[in-house]
A = this chain, B = another copy of it.
Amino acid sequence: MKCRACSRPAVIDIRRHNTAFCQDCFVRHCRDQVERTVHAYDMFGPDDRVLVAVSGGKDSLALWDILLDLGVRADGLYLGLGIGEYSDASGRYARDFASRRGAKLVEVDIPTTFGFDIPTGAPAARRTPCSACGLSKRHLFNQAALDGGYDVVATGHNLDDEAAVLFGNVLRWDLAYLGRQLPVLPADDGFARKVKPLVRLSERETAAYCVLKGIEYIVEECPMAEGNRHLGYKGALNDVEVRSPGSKAAFYFGFLERVAPLVETHATEQRADLHPCPECGSPTVSEVCAFCRLAEKARRNASRGGHPPETDSSTEHR
């Protein structure tokens, strides 16, 4: 197998592109794909300050690395979720990467700052761990971007992530969620711009990128995510992709091109009633925002030392 770009021996093939690359050309390919995505969706300009949501996993570290290589003014934000050893290890990978690249890493630790952690806070608020975690991330990334004067929050969602989330939203035909599943969500009153520059790269490619660039990352899936629906959707789409390489990309980009414009209005309708949360000032449609309610219930439960019943809600909305 030879590199399609330079004919040297290839180290990775990409079936959906019917191509293969050597190490150098693959790294350049990943960078080109991100650059192309940033331009195609007008994600940010050369003077914008970007806050990268860094988990310590392959996607977010690959994203941060590529953005720095492209000369983007990109700082990282790491959230401590309080998920035991998993969080400790994730944080170390994020910090090590930042110090090796000489990049700035902002840290927010949920347990010390807000007095709860995801494993006990989620059931206290009758949410699944993934739901409580996703809600906390969306809230705190946004808050940190606004507080730090960043123009945009960049997350490491890759093609597999987006296709799986799309699949979940399509299975329920939730038009409000579908209308917001875009690689760019523009800034709005109280909301920073959100962008997903990795949507043209699969998770196999971000993993290979890290390995080939010598970036160490946490390989384990989050222990709280085991068996969640999102992973089920990923598995189902993986089966389809194996039979028909390119299915995921056709699914996701076909949606963006031909269907998102038809459902976009459904997303904006929901946002009509936004007002500032009396607790934290974040825009919300509820009386108190979902994060402050989660934190309040989690703290109340922690002070009682109790364990409430059953969980609900899911994690497909991004």
Task: List the B residue with the shortest CB-CB distance to A258.
Answer: B173
Is A114 engaged at the interface, CB distance under 8 Å to the other chain? no
Give the segment of A128-136, A208-216, A227-235, A288-296 that binds chain B: A227-235
Is A236 engaged at the interface, CB distance under 8 Å to the other chain? yes
Chain A contact residues, majority secondary structure:
helix
Interface residue ranges of A205-246 to B (CB < 8 Å): 229, 232-233, 235-237, 239-240, 243-244
Return chain B residues, CB-CB under 8 Å to A235: 239
- Listed by A's residue number, 18 A-B pairs whose Cβ atoms lie within 8 Å are A170-B251, A171-B247, A171-B251, A171-B254, A172-B250, A172-B251, A173-B250, A173-B254, A173-B255, A173-B257, A173-B258, A173-B259, A175-B259, A232-B239, A232-B240, A232-B244, A235-B239, A236-B237
Least distance between A225 CB and chain B CB atoms (Å): 14
Least distance between A234 CB and chain B CB atoms (Å): 11
Interface size class of A (residues with CB under 8 A): 20 to 34
Bound-complex Cα distance A173 to B255 (A): 6
Name A's B-contacting residues (CB within 8 A): 170-173, 175, 229, 232-233, 235-237, 239-240, 243-244, 247, 250-251, 254-255, 257-259, 262-263
Return chain B residues, CB-CB under 8 Å to A236: 236-237, 239-240
Return chain B residues, CB-CB under 8 Å to A171: 240, 247, 250-251, 254
Task: List the B residue with the shortest CB-CB distance to A174.
Answer: B254
A258 and B170 contacting across the interface, CB-CB below 8 Å: no
Task: List the B residue with the shortest CB-CB distance to A166.
Answer: B170
Least distance between A172 CB and chain B CB atoms (Å): 6
Least distance between A82 CB and chain B CB atoms (Å): 27
Return chain B residues, CB-CB under 8 Å to A258: 173, 175
Bound-complex Cα distance A237 to B170 (A): 12
Bound-complex Cα distance A254 to B259 (A): 16
Q: Which 10 A/B pairs are nearest by Cβ-Cβ distance?
A: A173-B254, A236-B236, A171-B251, A232-B243, A173-B258, A236-B239, A262-B262, A236-B240, A171-B247, A173-B259
Task: List the B residue with the shortest CB-CB distance to A232.
Answer: B243
